[in-house]
Homo-oligomer: A and B are copies of this chain.
């Protein structure tokens, strides 16, 4: 029987600690979240972020902009928030409507307020081994889970399936910085199975329900499932076929209750870190 790596429990512990720390602050950390348009999934994420911030005593500002917002309007809004000393972290909820150049928007956010860690400058730092205060939340959450469950990273072969800028790439940099041998696979990878089967640590971030099967896994591997997919019955399922894979591995994250809750806990962790950096500068 595999050990279940319960990100949910860990995230609650982390949030509890942040809450205690925030309780002692006279000025509250503040996160500003911009949402453009009416994507229902985005609305759910946003309201979760707001609620979590409230629960731990942080302030949040939700800025809703209409679907037809143009590049310049969004950039102007970001500049306002960049200049607003009361705002410590800025997050633009993705995806953005098609008329907007996402990359240019992320570049507009002041790197010091880039709470999602998506700014190219912060990604570059991470890549160069100088980890910024705010690292992309899901990858940072994965590292926290591995730490919590005492999984050694150094010298291990970590295989990542999926090469997104939000998960696959940044988690590969975090693992390389911690001295793993790292392989990134993706849709063009040939004979995926022969590569994933080498993984001491397998990270599935493909976005396809139950894509990773028993045949992809080495005995006693550690499996991190980043996927959040809905099956035909509307139930949440991961990228890993849990029932097939679980008996074979030493550790696995469940879906739900694994990586998902860590993402929001890391967002709050990042907000607090940026807040502290900014207060430090004022001193």
Which residues of A pack against B, CB within 8 Å? 103, 119-125, 127-130, 154-155, 157, 163, 165, 169, 173, 176, 179, 181-186, 188-190, 195, 198
Q: A120-B128, A179-B188, A181-B185 are in contact. List 13 more A-B contacts (CB 8 A).
A: A120-B130, A121-B124, A123-B124, A124-B125, A129-B165, A157-B190, A176-B184, A181-B183, A181-B184, A181-B186, A181-B195, A182-B184, A195-B198
Is B122 a contact partner of A188 (Cβ separation < 8 A)? no
Q: Cβ of A123: which chain B residues have Cβ within 8 Å of it?
A: 123-124, 127-128
26 cross-chain CB contacts under 8 A = A103-B130, A120-B121, A120-B125, A120-B127, A120-B128, A123-B123, A123-B124, A124-B124, A124-B125, A127-B127, A127-B173, A128-B165, A129-B165, A154-B188, A157-B190, A163-B176, A181-B183, A181-B185, A181-B186, A181-B189, A181-B190, A182-B183, A182-B184, A183-B183, A183-B184, A195-B198
CA distance A176 to B173 in the complex (A): 13
For residue A173, which residues in chain B have a CB less than 8 angstroms away from its CB?
127
Hey, which chain B residues are within 8 Å of A157, CB to CB? 190, 195
B189–A155 touching, CB < 8 Å: yes
Closest CB-CB distance, A136 to chain B, in whole Å? 11
In the complex, residue of chain B having the shortest beta-carbon distance to the beta carbon of A123: B124
Bound CA span A185–B155, Å: 10
In this complex, what residue of B is CB-closest to A154?
A: B188
Q: Which partner residue on chain B sits nearest A119 by CB separation?
A: B124
- Report A108 CB to chain B, min CB distance, Å: 13
**Provided the pairs A188-B154, A188-B181, A189-B181 are in contact, do residues A169 and B103 lie with their beta carbons within 8 angstroms?**
no
With A and B bound together, what is the CA distance between A272 and B179 in angstroms?
Answer: 37
A163 to B173, CA, bound (A): 11
**Cβ-closest chain B residue relative to A172:** B184
- Return A189 CB to nearest CB of chain B, in Å: 4
Complex Cα gap A186–B182 (Å): 10
Q: Which residue of B lies closest to A200 (CB)?
A: B190
Which chain B residue has the least Cβ–Cβ distance from A177?
A: B163
- In Å, the complex CA distance between A110 and B189 comes to 37
- Taking the closest CB of chain B, its distance from the CB of A209, in whole angstroms, is 23
Complex Cα distance, B129 from A103, in Å, reads 10
**Measured CA separation A127–B173 after assembly (Å):** 10
Question: Which of A120, A121, A179, A198 counts the most B-chain CB atoms under 10 A from its CB?
Answer: A120
Chain B residues with Cβ under 8 A from A176's Cβ?
163, 169, 184
Q: How far is the CA of A264 from the CA of B175 in the complex (A)?
A: 32
